[in-house]
Amino acid sequence: MKVRRYFAANMRSALELVRQEQGPDVLILSNRKVDGGVELLTAVGEADPELIEKFTPRPARERRAEERYDERRDEARHESLAAAPAPRDVPRSVPPPAPAPTIPDGALWTRQETIDQMQRELGALKHLLENQLSGLAWNDYSSRSPLAARLMRALAQYGIAPRLARSVIAETAAIGDFDEAWRQVIAALRQRITCLSDPVLRHGGHFALCGPTGVGKTTLASKLAGRYALARGSHTVALVSTDEQRLGAHQQLRTFGRLVGITVRSVRSFEELPEQLADLHDRELVIIDMPGFAPTDPAFRQSLATLYCLPTPVDTYLVMSASTDHQSLERIVGAAEGQALAGCCITKLDEAATLGPALSAIAESRLPVAYLSQGQQVPDDVEAATPAALLEQFLTMGKASPASVEPAFMEQAFAI
Ligand X SMILES: Nc1nc2c(ncn2[C@@H]2O[C@H](COP(=O)(O)OP(=O)(O)OP(=O)(O)O)[C@@H](O)[C@H]2O)c(=O)[nH]1
Binding residues vs ligand X (CB under 6 A)? 213-219, 243, 246, 249, 292, 347-348, 350-351, 373-376, 381
In the sheet that holds 369-373, the strands lie side by side as 263-266, 237-241, 285-289, 205-210, 315-321, 343-347, 369-373, 382-384
The residue among 243 and 411 lying less far from ligand X, judged by its C-beta, is 243
Is 266 or 374 the residue whose CB approaches ligand X more closely?
374
Pairing between β-strand 2-8 and β-strand 37-44 as defined by DSSP bridges: antiparallel
Specify the residue, 214 or 338, whose C-beta has the smaller distance to ligand X.
214
How many beta carbons lie within 10 A of that of residue 142, not counting itself?
Answer: 18
Q: Are 17 and 31 in contact (CB under 8 A)?
A: no
Closest separation in Å from C-beta 336 to Mg ion: 17
- Smallest distance from the beta carbon of 308 to ligand X, in angstroms? 20
Min dist CB 299 to ligand X, Å, is 13
Residue 408 identity: A
Characterise 176 by phi-psi region: left (phi > 0), alpha (psi -120 to 50), beta (else). left
The closest alpha carbon to 216, from 119, 360, 349, 58, belongs to 349
- Determine the angle formed by the axes of helices 249-260 and 217-232, rounding to 10 degrees: 20
Minimum distance of ligand X from residue 298's CB (angstroms): 17
> With CB cut-offs between 5 and 8 Å by kind, which of Mg ion, ligand X, none does residue 79 bind?
none
The number of angstroms, rounded, from the C-alpha of 125 to the middle of its chain's C-alpha atoms is 20
Selection from Mg ion, ligand X, none that 242 binds (CB < 5 to 8 A by kind) is none
Residue nearest to Mg ion (CB): 218
- By a kind-dependent CB cut-off of 5 to 8 A, residue 316 interacts, out of ligand X, Mg ion, none, with none
- Number of residues that make up the chain: 416
- Of the pair 79, 350, the CB lying nearest ligand X is at 350
User: In the complex with ligand X, which residue's Cβ is closer, 208 or 249?
Assistant: 249
Q: Which does 338 bind (CB under 5 to 8 A by kind): ligand X, Mg ion, none?
A: none
| Rounded least distance, CB 353 to Mg ion, Å | 24
Q: Which is nearer to ligand X, 172 or 373 (CB)?
A: 373
Is residue 218 at the binding interface for Mg ion, with CB under 5 A as the rule?
yes
Quote the strand ranges of 230-295, DSSP E: 237-241, 263-266, 285-289
Which residues sit at the interface with Mg ion, rule CB under 5 A? 217-218
